[in-house]
Structure 1
Amino acid sequence: MLSTQYKEHFSDYRSWDQLDHAQDWLLFEDNIGESLSIDETCLSSGEVYTFLTNKAGKGRKGTLVAVVKGTKAEDVIQVLKKIDLSKRNTVKEITLDLSSSMMRIARSVFPKALITNDRFHVQKLYYDALDDMRIAYRWMARDKENEEIKEAKSKGKEYIPFRYSNGDTRKQLLARAKFILTKHKTKWTETQKGRAQIIFEHYPTLKKAYDLAMKLTDI
């Protein structure tokens, strides 16, 4: 459900659901400022809307510039261009996610604005890539374990899985690494610190990628 921080802008509607059926867009062009943000979000009914907000408003009165039903670039552009060009040209920066649709809207409607990718989406891309590396290593660990099981069976022996000093098997270590690689090292528990040491000792590429992720986070 949409945050209630914009509720004062919709005081004529008795519920967020009614906004879904009221009209396809609303403009508060007097709220436009030099630094804007554009993003999509859902109302309580599940309908997706595009929101344009003024950062200077900090979620209070004067924050909301426009809301448009849907995320189709052509529809959003058509509505936002109802704002006088002279006002749109005063926008110096617009922050958005990595969506090509949002990028197109920003370039078309605010031609003089610097486009900034939201840092949280950039960080998410990096952490997703880091997790892909972890998963790839886990598949390799699974294949190695299957080979060892097959070899033990062929020799008529009981299979005893390899375990690290903390008791984790290869697969367990890499499964539990997810909670370590997505946290800043300052937030690790003592157990996680020990596990991280083992992970980075045996998978130096993960350590290199994690260290880069921390540098990005610290920025």
Structure 2
Amino acid sequence: METSPVTCRTLEEFYHIDGHTFEKQYKETLSGFRNWEQLEHADEWILFPENIGPHLAIDESSLSNGELYTFVTNRDRHTHEESLVAAVAGTKSEDVIQVLKQINEKAREAVEEVTLDLSDSMRRIVTIAFPKAKRVIDRFHIQKLACDAVQEIRVAHRWDALQQSNEEMEECKQAGKSYMPYRFPNGDTRPELLVRSRYLLFKSAEKWTEKQKERAEILFKEYPDIQMAYGLSHSLRMIFAKNTIKDAARLSMARWYNKVDESRIKSFNVIAATFYEHYDDILNFYNNRASNAAAESFNAKIKLFRANLHGVVDKKFFLFRMAKIYGYPH
């Protein structure tokens, strides 16, 4: 059976279509983007009231060039289809609240729990948009503050050690001597000790390797303030790790505050003051041991999606594709 030249030419064109042309055809014709009911306002906000549920998460994420969007997701959907409730340009509480108030008041009042970070803006959004929901500040944000405080002290000592090393080298140079830095029993110089201790300070002592145990022993002997800060960070981690009740956690937290006060470590005093302002929201973690992991997972998927597309050129189309995956049923 003979095939007409027209059919051959059509097949040849089909199989040799370039990626750019196909992408354009998909966007303009195949995807349904131009007929999307939220197209007109998509770069400002998109909303899926039907995806709301009793357990929500709210967080911010960057789409491109540091431009932030606030995302509200349904935690029970585990970042799968119909998990996206809203995406709003910016983090200004008034703008996000205005969009969320388009959801039926009865549905918003049925929200029982919302996880969030320490942002005052996020707290205000939750308070007004979901007035009957318990706010739960994510424990990992709290633990990160403590870890950052430990690292801040380590880095300050590292700069001092580098300065001391430079001065010693200069003295040797002036005296015409060869510079031989002091080395600890594990072979580290002082700057090396402080650099190489970074990762062990993030871990529990029982998870240290033999080399890390040796390094930690030297570090804590040389820098008692790092040891004290590490102890405070670790004890805070243990408060959240224990499967305990809210009242017991409250007592443990009060004891931790006393330790911070006795330590006189400035950065931890700042953390303690921050915790005091968010005390009830932090302790709400013990109601259901809820975290903002769903929001963090959603953010990670956005970043991966963005990386695969080599950046966001058309925000509306990017949000459309994201909505197709996470906003609508498949």
Deviation at 1:154, TM superposition (A): 5.7
| 2:215 match | 195
- Secondary structure, counterpart of 2:197 in structure 1: helix
Matches within 5 A, 1:125-204: 125-153=145-173, 156-204=176-224
- With CA pairs under 8 Å and 6+ residues apart, which has the higher RCO, 1 or 2? 2
CA distance in 2 between partners of 1:50 and 1:141 (Å) = 42
CA distance in 1 between partners of 2:116 and 2:32 (Å) = 28
- Which protein has the bigger helix share? 2
Q: What amino acid sits opposite 1:41 in the alignment? A: S
Deviation at 1:21, TM superposition (A): 7.5
Q: What TM-score do the two structures reach when normalised by structure 1?
A: 0.79
Q: Percent of aligned positions with the same letter in both sequences?
A: 50
- The alpha-carbon distance between structure 1 residues 216 and 187, as it changes in their structure 2 partners (threshold 3 A), is same
Q: What TM-score do the two structures reach when normalised by structure 2?
A: 0.55
Deviation at 1:166, TM superposition (A): 1.0
Asked if residue 112 in structure 1 is aligned to residue 114 in structure 2, the reply is no
Asked if residue 103 in structure 1 is aligned to residue 123 in structure 2, the reply is yes
CA distance in 1 between partners of 2:84 and 2:169 (Å) = 61
| 1:82 match | 102
Q: Which moved more, 1:187-196 or 1:171-180?
A: 187-196
Q: Over aligned residue pairs, what C-alpha RMSD do you find? A: 2.7
Asked if residue 55 in structure 1 is aligned to residue 43 in structure 2, the reply is no
- The alpha-carbon distance between structure 1 residues 45 and 143, as it changes in their structure 2 partners (threshold 3 A), is closer
Tell me if structure 1 keeps the 8 A contact 2:158–2:195: yes
- Secondary structure, counterpart of 2:88 in structure 1: strand
| 1:217 match | 237
CA distance in 2 between partners of 1:27 and 1:173 (Å) = 51
Q: What amino acid sits opposite 1:30 in the alignment? A: E
| 1:8 match | none
Partner deviation per Cα, 1:161-185 (whole Å, 9 max, x = no partner): 1110011111110111112212333
Structure (1 or 2) with the larger CA radius of gyration: 2
Unaligned 5+ residue runs, structure 2? 1-30, 241-330
Unaligned 5+ residue runs, structure 1? 1-11
The number of aligned residues is 204
